[in-house]
Amino acid sequence: MAYTINVQKCLKCGICVKGCPEGAIVVVDQVTEPDGLVLYTTRIDEMKCTDCGVCVSEEWWCPAQAITKADTTEKVHTV
Ligand code: SF4
Ligand code: SF4
């Protein structure tokens, strides 16, 4: 099952990279702002994702609720 990170909502905090128990969420780009804040662009590796559902569950650790499961009602755009 495909899980998607909604780039419109994502804050680029990078929390999901450590939060995914399978290591299926990976950093694809990282930018350091002038003030030192590091912004992470992440994506979900479908080959590693085991459909555990943690990233969309009540144990949710995404502060922006930017991760959705593909068969939910919310429509998301991917790049
Ligand atoms: S469903 Fe589970 S394995 Fe897949 S991205 Fe979410 S937390 Fe990681
Ligand atoms: S935890 Fe959520 S807001 Fe933070 S980088 Fe991951 S998807 Fe984006």
Domain map (residue ranges) of the chain: 3-69
Which amino acid makes up residue 28? V
Which atom of ligand 1 lies nearest, measured to the CA of 53? 1
CB of 68 closer than 6 angstroms to any ligand 2 atom = no
Whole-model pTM over 0.95: no
CA 38, 48, 2, 69 torsion-angle sign: negative
Instruction: Tell me the pLDDT tens digit for each residue of 40-58.
Output: 999 999 999 999 999 998 7
Measured in Å, residue 77 CA sits from the centre of ligand 1 at 19
Q: Could you tell me the fold of the domain covering 3-69?
A: Alpha-Beta Plaits (3.30.70)
Place of tokens 């144990």: 59
Average pLDDT in the chain: 89
